[in-house]
Amino acid sequence: MTAALTIDGLGVNFAGLKAVNCVSLVIDEGELRVLLGANGAGKTTLMDLISGKTKSTEGRVFLYEEDIINREEHQIVRAGVGRKFQIPSVFKDLSVRRNLEVASCRALSVISNLGFGFSQSERSRVDEVLEMTGLADEAETTAANLSHGQTQWLELGMLIVQNPKVLLLDEPTAGMTQAETHKTSQIINGLKGRHTILVVEHDMAFVREIAERITVMHLGQVLAEGSVSEIEQNPKVREAYLGSKGIA
């Protein structure tokens, strides 16, 4: 297998506190990895380090063979890492379709971003993402009028349309209803194999629907890795995080 994302001894020290402490993991191309852990375990900080939002004090991050550690956020995006945060950020005054068109434009010029010269292949890609995210019927709806779940799917679509090599999804079901959460699992499962995906999530039912391999963090370090069944049966994980309920 080809490693898409390699994290080697990554860490950050905040005034003597090691929020992430010598974390190493390898995520293969096309893999979907779920990152679990209690609040304060270091999951979001790890995502911040990968995406360049936070600068590391030790370790390396490789996107395939390219070292991206401590680059600026926009440089890491251009290298091929896309990130979805807990709180969705979309252009509320634009239609769903226009949001996707703006997100898909790789050129930096104003003319390009206004849609002039938008190719047929780019339009087809937007149509594909509209179908993939279940937003085809809302294509001309102003983003401000979407439900919370639809807004989350739009932001996910804005990442997908850029075709990143690696997707970082930070609690993609936050604030969703049970039905919206299930639909989100279907969308993400449809991305498996097309993108390498790292998901931080607390909703255990959702985790069970999407998880292939799980990494559990505790106090800034990797506590365990394995399949759903292996993680459920791991006594250290039960003690630190899952308790007696397992992933249910």
Asked if residue 235 and residue 171 are part of one domain, the reply reads yes
Kindly state whether residue 186 falls inside one of the protein's structural domains: no
Token pair 């979309």 in the structure block, residue: 90
Q: Is 32 helix (H, G, I), strand (E, B) or coil?
A: strand
Q: Are residues 151 and 104 in the same domain?
A: yes
* Domain contains 223: yes
Q: What DSSP string runs through 228-244?
A: HHHHHH-HHHIIIIITT
Q: Does residue 126 share a domain with residue 231?
A: no
Domains of the chain: total: 2
Residue 3 β-bridge partners: 28
Same domain (yes/no): 125, 201: no
The answer to whether position 170 is within a domain reads: yes
pLDDT in tens, 46-73: 999 999 999 999 999 999 999 999 999 9
Is 187 inside any structural domain?
no
Kindly state whether residue 31 falls inside one of the protein's structural domains. yes
Of the pLDDT bands very low, low, confident and very high (cuts 50, 70, 90), residue 222 is: very high
209 touches 184 (CB < 8 A): no
- Identify the pLDDT of residue 111: 47
Query: Within a domain: residue 126?
Result: yes
pLDDT for residue 78 is more than 70: yes
Give the strand order in the sheet containing 32-36.
81-84, 166-170, 196-200, 32-36, 213-218, 221-226
Q: Is residue 110 situated within a structural domain?
A: yes
* Statement to judge: residues 64 and 31 lie in one domain: yes
* pLDDT value of position 16: 84
Residues 176 and 231 in one domain: yes
Q: Count other C-beta atoms under 10 Å from residue 230's C-beta.
A: 13
Pair 155, 226 in one domain? no
What average pLDDT is seen over the chain?
91
Average pLDDT over residues 166-194: 94
**Domain range spanning residue 127?**
88-163
22 and 65 co-located in one domain: yes
What pTM does this model have? 0.90
Report the pLDDT value the prediction gives residue 171, as an integer from 0 to 100. Answer: 92
* pLDDT (0 to 100) of residue 4: 97
Same domain flag for 55 and 174: yes
Tell whether 224 is covered by a domain. Answer: yes
Q: Are residues 138 and 174 in the same domain?
A: no
Same domain, 70 and 111: no
What strands lie across the sheet with 66-67, from one edge to the other?
Answer: 17-28, 3-14, 58-63, 66-67
Q: Which CATH number do you get for residue 212?
A: 3.40.50.300
> Given this model, what pLDDT does residue 106 score?
62
List the one residue out of 162, 161, 141 whose CA is nearest residue 92: 141
